[in-house]
Chain A
Amino acid sequence: MIEFQNVSYTYSGADVPALVDISLRLAPGEIVVLVGANGSGKSTLARLCNGLLVPSEGTVTVNGMSTIDPERVFDVRSRVGLVLQNPDNQIVGTVVEEDVAFGPENLGVATADLRIRVDDALAVVSLTGMERREPHLLSEGQKQRLAIAGALAMGPDYIVFDESTAMLDPPGRADVLAVMQRLRSAGHGILHITHHLDDAAHADRIVALDAGSIAFDGQVEEFFEQNERLSDLGLELPPLAAAAAYLRNAGLVVPAAVADARGLVEALWPS
């Protein structure tokens, strides 16, 4: 469990806190989508999860370990993987396998185990066979999956994605979302930060940040029903959910959050 208890964070030199009184939980085996406008504090929250930043007030614990504990810094970071937006800026190795090995190498994992971890991580993200490829020759989607493999090789329980699908084309994005599903099935807890509310369709829960505070934490369905609030949060309903909202306003019974067009059609005309 990653647990935020009344966490506030103020950057040194800033007048206003970036996060105010955040309480939040991420359990293994669940996907939580985190949304919010630019500057609402999403990346700050991501960096608090693995102890890159430590709370100004309150506590963040990972599997019961406080992120402030200097003895546990590397335990915490290896439990919580962080995948960023631009894959080019997080790939350290000059060939794929060297990059995947970077994390466990830092942890001092023995060479024989390193090889196993690298192979396993590459298999999860479907990059097996690309071990000796140079990262800059991969597609953006493949690069991002490489970054995920790099996080996975540390053997984390949780992975935080900070707008990791924002720069990808639709197939690349679909691949990364599929990897998230696979990770959830394998018992990993996923925190997925995104601007696209359609990414919420696959989430177990949605959390919305507004100017550093939690504005919503609950079911996706329920969140989409409050569509008047969304524009205040700097968000926009995805086309499908907007269509569903219009239908509901017209008195038809359809779910507020549907995964795809077929779901909507079946709700209207059950076969």
Chain B
Amino acid sequence: MRIPRTFGQYVAVESPVHSLDAKTKMGLVAAYTVALFTVERFAGLGAAGIVVIGAVVLAQVPWRLALRGIKAVSVILAFTLFAHALRWNPATVSLVRFGPLAVDGEGLRTGLFFAARIVLLVVGTSLLTLTTTPVQLTDGLERLMRPFARFGFPAGDVAMMLSVALRFIPTTAEEADKIILAQMARGARFDEGGLLRRAKAYVPVLIPLFVNLFRRAEELAVAMESRCYHGGPGRTRLDPACMRGRDWTVLSCGAALLVALGVLL
């Protein structure tokens, strides 16, 4: 049994995409999402697909990782496809019929369109976390949240919280694996019975996991305080994230292209 740890799984290579500022990439992902939801034709999705393929190749991210997110939404994909394509005893002409069950040509088209849109959305957005370290992401978020600091919003603390949470995902997943193995060694079964029974089987995993998390949190607080963390202003950065000329060029050209794509196709 493996706990997935896709989120925040950064691929450490040097590429033109990696070197872009996190805010640039967030802006592009936002424009890309808007474009995906405004295109009305397959040609539009095809164009978006070309953009994503280009981005994955440029980013030198292995396809296996770039496409991994699709597995998580496979149920939604299947549901989208079937809900649109299948008809029960339709009066209209159908593509294929199995008794009362029929595949509707128009519905299949729509289903494929929506499914392709979900796939493109997942691959495109996961590219952001694959090419940006969680710290760069949270730094970017902090910068975007900074205007709200004026109204007393603790932007720095929130960014640090997010960053630490992301940092502890792999550690926690490893620990959960260990506890699951330990419980299995004592005869616990996680693959038996209905949904409720399976969910219940995880209670003896979650309790020690949470107890350990609290212990970790306490020690982490000691470690962070020992290293002079104070949550106040005046923190400097090893990699100060700043928008360079290249970022502005890529952001404005990319966003313009994506918006044009959304409007025209």
Chain A residues proximal to chain B, CB less than 8 Å: 47, 50, 52, 74, 77-78, 81-82, 84, 86, 88-95, 97-98, 101-111, 114-115, 118, 132-136, 147, 150-151, 154
Contacts and interface: CB of A to CB of B under 8 A. Distances in A.
A118 B238 CA distance: 9
B222 interface: yes
Nearest to B231: A106
Contacts of A133: 12
B227 interface: yes
Contact of B227 (A98, A102, A132): A102
A106 B238 contact: no
Given A102-B227, A134-B10, 13 more contacts: A52-B226, A82-B222, A82-B223, A89-B215, A92-B227, A98-B133, A103-B227, A106-B230, A111-B240, A132-B12, A133-B12, A134-B170, A154-B228
Given A88-B171, A105-B236, A118-B238, A94 B166 contact: yes
A118 B234 CA distance: 19
Interface of B: 8, 10, 12, 133-135, 163-164, 166-167, 170-171, 174, 215-216, 219-220, 222-230, 234-240
Contact of B238 (A77, A98, A135, A150): A98
A47 B224 CA distance: 13
A50 B226 contact: yes
Contact of A105 (B215, B222, B238): B238
A88 B225 CA distance: 16
B222 A84 contact: yes
Contacts of A132: 12
A88 B216 contact: yes
Contacts of B12: 95, 132-134
16 contacts: A77-B225, A82-B223, A86-B219, A88-B171, A90-B220, A92-B163, A92-B227, A94-B133, A94-B135, A98-B133, A98-B135, A105-B235, A108-B234, A111-B238, A134-B10, A151-B226
Contacts of A103: 227-228
Contact of A114 (B10, B222, B238): B238
Interface of A is mostly: helix
A120 B237 CA distance: 17
Given A77-B227, A93-B167, A151-B227, A52 B236 contact: no
Contacts of B174: 136
Contacts, number: 106
A147 B239 CA distance: 20
A60 to B, nearest CB: 15
A161 to B, nearest CB: 12
A219 B219 CA distance: 32
Contacts of A81: 226
Contacts of B235: 105-106, 108
Nearest to A81: B226
Contacts of A111: 236-238, 240
Contact of A106 (B133, B166, B222, B228): B228
B238 A92 contact: no
Nearest to A106: B228
A89 B227 contact: no
Contacts of A114: 236-238
B134 A106 contact: no
Given A86-B219, A154-B227, A93 B135 contact: yes
A84 B223 contact: yes
B219 A89 contact: yes
Contacts of A102: 224, 227, 229
B130 to A, nearest CB: 13
